[in-house]
C-alpha cells in the first residue's frame, strides 16, 4: 500500500467518527495545552523575578543585623563607617516602620523609612520634583518627608504635594520631594511609602540603632573580596559572633529564585506529562474499540491482498493523526490559556518556540507508542476469523 493511500484511508476513518475522534484527542489536547500554558506562566514568572531583582541592583549588598545579647543593632555611625571599606561606593542604613499619614480629612497607612541622602544612589531612587533628604535634615532631626506617587495621589489627587504639610503618626511633616514612580519589587511597593531622615525615624519608632543596611559596590568583579572585607568588619564589631549579622548578595538572590522557579516548572511539567500519558491511554482504548468494530473490514482487506504491515500502518497512522490533531489544538488552547493567565496575573507570559515543537512532537510520539498495540492487534487478525465476526 502506498504511503499517500494509507494516510487517505486513515484520515477518512478518523473523519467518519467525529465525536469519537474528538473525545479521543481531548486528553492529548488538555496535556499539550497544560504544557504550553505552564511554560508560558513559568517564563513570565521568571522574567518578573529577574526584573524585580535587577531593579534592586546586582551590584548591591544588603546587611541584616540581628545582634548578640543586648546589642541587637549597629549604631548609625558604625553603619556609615562601612563606606570606608575598599570598593564600597555608598552605604544606606534604613530604619522602617508603619505609620498613619493624614492630610486634611484623608488618611492612609503606609510604610515609613528613615534614610540618609545616600539612599538615592544606593537604591537608584530619585525625586521627580522637589529635593532629596539632605545631610542637614539628618543632623538636625528635621521633620521633612519624601512621598511616593501612589500615596501622593491618594492624599492629594493630581495636585503637587511638594510644600504641603501632612501628619505622620500625629507629627507635622513638610513634604520636600515627590519620588519618581518605581513600581513594586520583592520588598513591596516603592510607590506607597514615605521617606524621612533616619534620625527622625529613630525618634519616631523609638529605635536606638540600625538593623538594615543597603550597600552599593563599585566593581562587580571584586564583589567576593568586598563581601569578605565587610564580613570581617562586622565580625570584629560583634566580637566573633557571625550569627549576629547576615550579608546578602543580590546575585545569590537571582540564583536562588531561578533555582526555585526551575524546580516548580519541572514539577508542573511532570503533571502535564502525566496528563499526556492519560490522554495516550485514551487513544489506545479508542483504537482498540475501533479494531473490534472494524474486524470485518480488516478481514475483507486481508482477503483482497492487504499485507499485515498495511493494516498495521493504517491503524498506526490513525492513532498518530488523532494525537497530532489533539496536539495542534492543544498548542492553540495553551497559547490562549497563557495569554489569559498573563492578563489575570499582570505578567508578560511567553512560550519558547522550541517548547511548542517539543510538545507537538511528544503528542505525536504518544500516538505512536499507544497506537502500536491496537495496530499490531489489528494486523494479526486472520482473514477467516475476521470474516466470521458478527
Task: Report which of 28, 25, 41 is spatially closest to residue 274, judged by C-alpha positions.
Answer: 28
Interval 307-317: pLDDT, tens:
777 777 777 77
Higher-pLDDT residue of 218, 300: 218
Could you tell me the residue ranges of all domains in the chain?
3-52+255-388, 77-218
Q: Residue for cell digits 478481514?
A: 299
Tell me how crowded residue 120 is: count the other CB atoms within 10 A of its CB.
20
Predicted pLDDT of residue 318 = 77
% pLDDT > 90, the chain? 31
Q: Are 6 and 314 in contact (CB under 8 A)?
A: yes
Q: Give bridge partners of residue 91 from the DSSP assignment.
A: 215
> By the 8 A CB rule, do 240 and 105 touch?
no
Find all residues with CB under 8 Å of 321, minimum gap 6, and list them: 10, 11, 14, 367
Can you say whether residue 265 is alpha, beta or left, with left for phi > 0 and alpha for psi between -120 and 50 degrees? alpha
Where residue 253 falls among pLDDT bands split at 50, 70, 90? Answer: low
Cell of 287: 483504537
Residue range 300-352, pLDDT digits in tens: 777 767 777 777 777 777 777 778 888 888 888 888 888 887 787 777 777 77
The model's pLDDT over 135-174, given as tens digits with 9 standing for 90+, comes to 999 999 999 999 999 999 999 998 999 999 999 999 999 9
Instruction: Tell me the average pLDDT across 272-278.
Output: 75
- Confidence (pTM): 0.59
Least Cα distance to 112 among 37, 168, 195, 212 occurs for 195
Q: Which residues contact 121 (CB under 8 A, 6 or more apart)?
A: 89, 90, 92, 216
Amino acid at each position: 500500500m502506498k504511503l499517500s493511500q494509507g494516510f487517505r484511508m486513515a484520515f477518512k476513518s478518523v473523519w467518519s467518527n467525529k465525536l469519537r475522534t474528538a473525545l479521543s484527542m481531548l486528553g492529548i489536547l488538555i496535556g499539550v495545552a497544560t504544557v504550553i500554558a505552564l511554560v508560558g506562566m513559568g517564563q513570565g514568572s521568571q522574567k518578573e523575578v529577574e526584573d524585580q531583582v535587577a531593579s534592586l541592583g546586582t551590584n548591591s549588598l544588603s546587611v541584616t543585623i540581628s545582634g548578640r545579647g543586648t546589642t541587637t543593632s549597629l549604631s548609625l555611625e558604625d553603619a556609615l563607617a562601612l563606606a570606608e571599606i575598599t570598593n564600597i561606593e555608598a552605604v544606606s542604613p534604613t530604619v522602617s516602620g508603619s505609620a498613619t499619614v493624614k492630610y486634611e480629612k484623608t488618611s492612609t497607612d503606609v510604610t515609613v523609612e528613615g534614610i540618609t541622602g545616600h539612599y538615592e544612589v544606593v537604591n537608584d531612587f530619585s525625586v521627580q520634583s522637589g529635593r532629596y533628604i539632605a545631610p542637614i535634615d539628618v543632623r538636625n532631626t528635621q521633620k521633612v518627608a519624601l512621598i511616593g506617587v501612589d500615596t501622593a495621589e491618594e492624599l492629594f489627587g493630581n495636585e503637587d504635594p511638594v510644600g504641603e504639610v501632612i501628619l505622620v503618626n500625629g507629627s507635622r511633616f513638610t513634604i520636600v520631594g515627590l519620588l519618581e514612580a518605581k513600581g513594586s519589587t520583592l520588598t513591596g511597593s516603592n510607590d506607597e511609602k514615605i521617606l524621612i531622615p533616619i534620625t527622625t525615624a529613630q525618634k519616631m519608632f523609638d529605635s536606638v540603632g540600625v538593623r538594615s543596611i543597603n550597600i552599593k559596590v563599585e566593581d562587580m568583579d571584586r564583589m567576593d573580596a568586598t563581601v569578605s572585607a565587610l564580613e570581617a568588619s562586622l565580625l570584629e564589631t560583634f566580637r566573633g559572633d557571625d550569627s549576629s549579622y547576615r550579608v546578602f548578595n543580590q546575585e545569590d538572590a537571582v540564583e536562588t529564585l531561578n533555582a526555585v522557579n526551575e524546580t516548580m516548572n519541572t514539577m508542573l511539567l511532570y503533571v502535564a506529562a502525566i496528563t499526556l500519558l492519560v490522554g495516550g491511554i485514551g487513544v489506545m482504548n479508542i483504537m482498540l474499540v475501533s479494531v473490534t468494530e472494524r474486524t470485518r473490514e480488516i478481514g475483507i482487506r486481508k482477503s483482497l491482498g492487504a499485507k499485515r504491515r498495511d493494516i498495521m500502518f493504517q491503524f498506526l497512522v490513525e492513532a498518530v493523526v488523532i494525537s497530532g490533531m489533539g496536539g495542534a489544538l492543544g498548542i492553540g488552547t495553551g497559547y490562549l490559556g497563557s495569554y489569559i493567565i498573563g492578563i489575570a496575573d499582570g505578567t508578560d507570559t511567553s512560550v519558547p518556540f522550541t517548547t511548542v515543537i517539543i510538545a507537538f512532537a511528544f503528542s505525536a510520539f504518544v500516538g505512536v507508542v499507544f497506537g502500536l498495540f491496537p495496530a499490531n492487534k489489528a494486523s494479526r487478525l486472520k482473514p477467516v476469523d475476521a470474516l466470521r465476526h458478527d
